[in-house]
Amino acid sequence: MAKTPIGGYLPTLDGWRAIAILAVLLDHAVGYSSLGSVSSVFALTRVGPNGVSLFFAISGFLICSRLLEEERAFGKISLRGFYIRRACRILPPAMFYLIAIAILSFFGLIIVTRAEWWSSVFFFRNYLPPSWRNRGWGGYTIHYWSLAVEEHFYLLWPAALVWFGKQRARWFAGGLAVAVAVWRMWDFHAHWFDRVIPGLLIGTRTDIRLDALLLGCLAALLLEEEGIRAAFARHFSSWIWGLCIAGYVGLQLVQRVRNYSIVESALLPLIVAGTVYVQRGWITSLLESRPLKWVGRLSYSLYLWQQLFSVSEAGSRLSAVQRWPLNLGLLFLMAWLSYRFIERPLIRLGHRLAPPPTEGREDLTLTGDRGSGETETEARPPGEMRASA
Domains of the chain: which residue ranges? 11-312
Hey, is 44 helix, strand or coil?
helix
Contacts of 90 (CB under 8 A, 6+ apart): 147, 150, 151
Hey, what amino acid is at 106? Answer: F
Partners of 2 in the beta sheet? 278
Model's pTM, two decimal places? 0.90
Q: Quick one: DSSP state of residue 356?
A: -
How far is it, in rounded angstroms, from Cα 13 to Cα 2?
17
Task: List pLDDT tens digits, range 218-249.
Answer: 999 999 999 999 999 888 988 999 999 999 99
pLDDT value at residue 368: 47
> Of 123, 224, 231, 215, which is closest to residue 173 (Cα–Cα)?
215
pLDDT band at 9 (very low <50, low <70, confident <90, very high): confident
Hey, is 278 helix, strand or coil?
strand
Q: Quick one: DSSP state of residue 127?
A: G
Task: List pLDDT tens digits, range 21-46.
Answer: 999 999 888 876 655 555 555 566 77
How far is it, in rounded angstroms, from Cα 119 to Cα 127?
8
Buried-state track 64-73, b at ≥16 Cβ within 10 A, e below 16: bbbbbbbbee
Task: List pLDDT tens digits, range 296-340.
Answer: 999 999 999 999 998 766 556 777 788 888 889 999 999 999 999
Q: Quick one: DSSP state of residue 343?
A: I
Note whether 277 and 223 are within 8 A (CB). Answer: yes
Partners of 278 in the beta sheet? 2
Task: List pLDDT tens digits, range 328-374.
Answer: 999 999 999 999 999 999 999 999 999 988 766 777 765 544 443 33
Partners of 260 in the beta sheet? none
How far is it, in rounded angstroms, from Cα 147 to Cα 6?
27
Query: Which ranges constitute the DSSP H helices of the chain?
Result: 11-31, 39-44, 48-74, 79-106, 114-121, 144-190, 192-196, 206-223, 226-235, 238-254, 262-276, 282-287, 290-310, 326-338, 344-353, 376-379
Question: In residues, how long is the chain?
Answer: 389
CA distances to 42, 139, 320, 328 from 323, rounded to whole Å, are 18, 16, 6, 8
| Other Cβ atoms within 10 Å of 85 Cβ, number | 23
Note whether 53 and 265 are within 8 A (CB). Answer: yes
Return phi, psi of residue 129, to 5°: -60, 130
| Other Cβ atoms within 10 Å of 361 Cβ, number | 24
How far is it, in rounded angstroms, from Cα 306 to Cα 28?
8
